[in-house]
Amino acid sequence: MAVEQTFVIIKPEAVERRLTGEILTRFERKGLKIQRLAVTEISKEVAKKHYAHHGDKPFFPHLIEAMTSGPVVLAVLEGDEAISQVRNLVGATDPAKAAPGTIRGDFALRLPYNMIHAADSPDAAQEEIQRFFGN
């Protein structure tokens, strides 16, 4: 198994509902280590850059509005196969299709309010860590 880093954003709706501790606990119980952690707000400019790959989709404006509606928690997680482990814990993007026991399956109600963003590849993880934490 390869030790790797990944990146997650606990979205404003999760922070507002006070689910941050529960979400982070799930990662720690899985054996992942929290390497970096920050509470911040994301500007519309940064959110648009972060989600540029969805720029042509009809839900893009709603996604940007949701991501900039309040504080978020940024986390760098590390562990064996961290990216796939986190993606499995997070569940399907659409809360209606997310399995019970996953973060989205247990807590999310509807898109774009799906509780959490998780990097989907090593390159994306490193790019996102750089975007939000810098060097």
Q: How far apart are CA 45 and CA 7, in angstroms?
A: 19
Instruction: Output phi, psi for 19, to 5 deg.
Output: -105, 0
- DSSP helix, strand, coil percent of the chain (3-state; round to 5): 45, 20, 35
Instruction: Output phi, psi for 132, to 5 deg.
Output: -100, -25
Q: Is 117 part of the annotated catalytic residue set?
A: yes
Considering the candidates 50, 53, 62, 117, report the single residue annotated as catalytic: 117
Cite the active site residues: 117
